[in-house]
Structure 1
Amino acid sequence: MQNPANSTVVSDFAELPATASHGLLRIEYRWVNEVAVNAPIAVFLHEGLGSIAMWRDWPQSLCERLGMRGLVYSRPGYGLSTPREHDVKWPVDFMTEQARDILPALLDALDVGMQERRRMWLIGHSDGGSITLLYAALHPNELAGAVAIAPHVFVEDISVESIAQTKELYETTDLRSKLSRYHADVDSAFYGWNDIWLNPAFREWNIASELAAIKQPLLAVQGHDDNYGTMAQIDTIAERVPHAQLVKLDACGHSPHRDAPGALNEAIAAFISRQR
Structure 2
Amino acid sequence: MDHEQAFELLPGYIDEELSLSESLEFERHLASCERCKHAYEQQRQVIMQLRQNDLRLDAPPELVKRIRAALPVQRSWWQRVASRLGGVSGFGGTGRTSGTGGTLGWAPVGAMVVSLVALTWSAGLYLSLPAGDTHLTQELVDSHVRSLQFDHLYDVISTDRHTVKPWFDGKIDFAPPVIDLAQQGYPLVGGRLDYLNGHAVAVMVYRYKLHPINLYVWPGSEAGATPHIYERQGYHLAHWSAAGMNYWAITDAGESELNGFVTNLRAHSAS
Shared topology, TM-score over 0.5? no
TM-score range, shorter chain: under 0.3
TM-score under structure 2 normalisation? Answer: 0.23
TM-score under structure 1 normalisation? Answer: 0.23
Highest RCO, 1 vs 2 (Cα 8 Å, sep ≥ 6): 1
